[in-house]
Amino acid sequence: MKNRMSKGLILGAMLGASAQAMAAVPESDEPIKLAVNEWTGQHISTHVAGEILKTMGYNVEYVTAGYYPQMQAMEDNTVSATLEIWSSNIGEHYDNALASGKVVEIGDLGLEPVESWYFNAAAKEKCPGLPSYEALKGCAEVFANAETFPQGRLVDYPADWGTTNVDRLKGFELDFTSAPAGSEGALIAEIQGAEARQEPLLVMFWQPHWVHAVVDLELVELPPYEDGCNEDASVGVNPNATWDCDWQRGYIKKMAWKGMQDKWPAAYKMLQAYTLENGDQIPMMNQIDKEGGKLETVVAEWIASNEAKWKPWVESATQ
């Protein structure tokens, strides 16, 4: 520790003020704790960032943390940063964390989430007009089950994620019922169950997600999002209803403990600069969930072959 410090001082003196920060990296040997939540995509986003931080000389610890509880943990550096917060399902916890004054938002991750209606191969067979949403109008009974008959069934997001599908189904004049799934596990069990039974399925789902690596799901073509279509009946395809267009795309944020700026300034800057795109995450997700690869090896490979992408973040952070 002492040795490194003195070396840094000498280097700093030699290279001038701009290099001083770099020379001091890592500012502290205390581990930076990155939150690991419950899904593969997040594991990838977190481990990529963590491994980059390690190349900078930081100590990194991956802490398992619940999606909501981690917000509490970031207030006192029990978790230093979390890198994949979806605007669609974090709810009030996001605002509450910012309001505490101890947690800050550090920019978009860069993943582009698509949340909309998907259908499976069996649905395409029984309702050949798909992917156009208009085809659903004549296909309600294809998607019906005992609980919804004669209406079709749209397997929906859990009620606590907040969903607008009841309004949307009305807006598109579809004779469908929204059946909230209750959890991500239930959504996936529905998707896999329908696949095993070769049954048509219409489901509210999102991308990037590992299940696309295992099951063929196609997007329903909805009329594109227009500003005002959720509030103003005259906007959108149905002149008499609101919610008659596709979703406005959401965003994915990175967040950190406020004290990070002072404790590990370079790491903080690196995480601010850090982005991961669909094109990066999805192939890694496939390698893990489809081909059975290990998270650590998959991430290490990405790090090794994508230096051009992440080296600039490190450089900008240490300048």
CA 319 to chain CA centroid, nearest Å: 30
Q: Which is nearer to other proteins, 148 or 272 (CB)?
A: 148
What's the rounded Cα separation, in Å, for the pair 296 and 288?
A: 10
Q: Which is nearer to other proteins, 52 or 187 (CB)?
A: 187
Contact 285, 213 (CB under 8 A): yes
Least distance from C-beta 84 to other proteins, angstroms? Answer: 14
Residues engaged in binding other proteins (CB under 8 A):
35, 38-40, 63-66, 68-70, 72-73, 76, 78-79, 89, 91-93, 96, 145-147, 149-150, 155, 158-162, 179-186, 188-190, 192-193, 195-199, 210, 289
Q: Which is nearer to other proteins, 157 or 313 (CB)?
A: 157
Q: Which is nearer to other proteins, 20 or 78 (CB)?
A: 78
- Cross-strand partners of 255: 82, 105
Sign of the dihedral defined by the CA atoms of residues 123, 124, 128, 133, in that order: positive
Least distance from C-beta 280 to other proteins, angstroms? Answer: 21
Q: Which is nearer to other proteins, 21 or 213 (CB)?
A: 213
In the block, tokens 């490190």 appear at 314
Q: Which is nearer to other proteins, 9 or 189 (CB)?
A: 189
Least distance from C-beta 179 to other proteins, angstroms? Answer: 6
**Which of these, 52, 48, 49, 4, lies nearest to 26 by C-alpha position?**
4
Sign of the dihedral defined by the CA atoms of residues 102, 93, 64, 24, in that order: negative
Least distance from C-beta 103 to other proteins, angstroms? Answer: 12
Least distance from C-beta 256 to other proteins, angstroms? Answer: 15
- The structure tokens listed for 294 are 């290990």
**Contact partners, residue 295, CB within 8 Å, separation at least 6:** 40, 43, 44, 47, 288
Least distance from C-beta 33 to other proteins, angstroms? Answer: 10
- Local structure of 36: helix, strand or coil: strand
